[in-house]
Amino acid sequence: MKTLTAFLSVLILLVGTCTAQNTTNFPNIGKVDRFESSLDNLIPKDAKIEVLCGGFEWAEGPVWVPEVGNQFGGFVLFSDIPNNAVMKWQEGIGATVFMQPAGYTGVADYGKEPGSNGLALDSSGQLVLCEHGDRRISVLTKDGGKRTLADRWNGQRFNSPNDLAIHSNGDIFFTDPIYGLPHRADDPLRETDFCGIYRLQNDGTVTVQYKDVSRPNGIAFSPDEKILYVANSDGNDPVWRAFPVQDDGSLGSPTPFFDSSKEDRIPSGGGDGMKVDVHGNVFATGPGGVLVLSPQGKLLGRISTGERIANVGWGNNGSVLYLTSDMYLCRIQTTTRGTRF
What single-letter amino acid sits at 69?
Answer: G
The upper half-sphere exposure of residue 107, i.e. CA atoms within 13 Å in the direction of its Cβ, equals: 0
Task: Name the residue type at position 105.
Answer: T
Instruction: Give the list of residues 6+ apart from residue 321 with CB closer than 8 angstroms, or none.
Output: 275, 283, 290, 303, 312, 313, 314, 315, 331, 332, 333, 334, 338
Q: In the predicted model, is pLDDT for residue 25 greater than 90? A: no
Read off the pLDDT of residues 290-314 as tens digits, 9 standing for 90 and up. Answer: 999 999 999 999 999 999 999 999 9
pLDDT at 17 over 80: no
Instruction: Give this prediction's pTM.
Output: 0.93
pLDDT of residue 22: 52
- Reported as a pLDDT band with limits 50, 70 and 90, residue 67 is confident
Q: Write the pLDDT tens digit of every residue in 107-143.
A: 999 999 999 999 999 999 999 999 999 999 999 998 8
Domain boundaries along the sequence of the chain: 2-26+55-264
- 2-26+55-264 architecture in CATH? 6 Propeller (2.120)
Task: Reply yes or no on whether the pLDDT at 10 is more than 50.
Answer: no
182-201 residue pLDDT tens: 999 999 999 999 999 999 99
Phi, psi of 184 (to 5 degrees): 50, -130
Q: Which range (22-31, 39-48, 85-94, 153-162) has the least confidence?
A: 22-31
